[in-house]
Amino acid sequence: MRYKLLGNSGLRVSELALGTMTFGQENEDGVADKSTSRKLFHAFIEAGGNFIDTANDYTGGTSETHLGEFIASTGERDRFIVATKYTANMRSDDPNGGGNSRKSMVQSVEASLKRLQTDYIDLLWVHMWDSVTPIEEVMRGLDALIRSGKVLYIGVSDHPAWVVSQANTLAELKNWTPFIALQIEYSLIQRTPERELLPMAQGFGLTITPWSVLGAGLLTRKFNKKNFEPREREAEFERLAERRNEKKYGPRELGIADAVAELAEVSGRSSAQVALNWVRQKGTIPIIGTSKISQIEDSLAALGWTLTEKEMQLLDEVSNIELGFPHDFFQSRNVKKAFWGSTFDQVDRVRPIAHVDPTRMAR
Which residues, 6 or more positions from 49, have their beta carbon under 8 angstroms from its beta carbon?
1, 14, 16, 17, 18
Q: How far is 45 from 85, CA to CA, in rounded Å?
A: 21
Q: Which of 58, 86, 120, 186 is catalytic?
A: 58
Would you mind telling me the total number of residues written for the chain in this entry? 363
Give the end-to-end CA distance of the chain in Å, rounded to a whole number.
31
SS3 call for 154: strand
The full DSSP string for 209-242 is: --B-TTGGGTTSGGG-GGGS-HHHHHHHHHHHHH
Q: Which of 251, 250, 252, 273 is nearest to 263 (CA)?
A: 273
The phi and psi torsions of 243 (rounded to 5 degrees) equal -65, -30
Is residue 120 part of the annotated active site? The answer reads: no
Q: Which residues are catalytic?
A: 58
